[in-house]
Amino acid sequence: MRISRGLVTVTATVTATAIVMLGASPALADSDTLSDPAGEVELRFLDITEASVNNGERSIQASITFAEDRRGTVIVGVETRFHGVWRIVNKHRDSAPDRTFLVNEEGRVACDGLTGSWDRSTATAEYTLPSRCINDGNFGAIKPWLLTEPLNSGSDGDLTGFRNWIARG
């Protein structure tokens, strides 16, 4: 059987074009969602009922729903494979503005673009951590965990974590 040179060239061109087109598709972040039963923590704690984390190319986003809106501290832990554990800390108050900041093993870390917002009517908090704030964006998969504490206290309230590593999108 003879294969013509033209057919081989066309096949190689089509294959190369398909690879380039597939590789050029927009990057979609991997994410994970969890449910946590309401009522398993003392009433003085924020009680996590649902959460989702999205490990995007440009940012890590977390959305957390609570049984009800109450004051307290929310910590979103971001464990990386080779660059330590980072924590988004949100001090959620009744009347004063919230404070959101980033912490690693060495203390507070400056992070332009870190945001935290609450929808009090749905008891939902949203956080966005720019990827550049962790090892200049070079960190890969993450394994997040969530913790609540009373405001200005070290007592652990609701602690829950994701089972799997979440790949970078």
Whether 63 is in a domain gets the answer yes
- Residue 113: what pLDDT? 97
In a domain, residue 16? The reply is no
Q: Answer whether residue 7 shows pLDDT above 50.
A: no
Residue 15, domain member (yes or no) = no
Cβ-based neighbour number of residue 166 at 10 Å: 20
Residue 128 in domain: yes
Number of folded domains in the chain?
Answer: 1
Planar angle of CA 7, 9, 14, nearest 5 degrees: 95
**Residue showing tokens 């951590």:** 129
Q: Considering the entire predicted model, what is its pTM?
A: 0.79
pLDDT at 79 over 50: yes
- For residues 144 and 77, the answer to whether their CB atoms sit within 8 Å is yes
pLDDT at residue 42, as a whole number: 81
Query: What are the pLDDT digits (tens) for 86-115?
Result: 999 999 998 889 999 999 999 999 999 999
Say yes or no to pLDDT of 157 above 90: no
CATH number at residue 85: 2.60.40.1190
Whether pLDDT at 43 is above 60:
yes
Average pLDDT over residues 109-136: 96
Domain interval for residue 150: 30-161
Quick one: tokens of 102? 């980033």
Residue 86 lies in a domain: yes
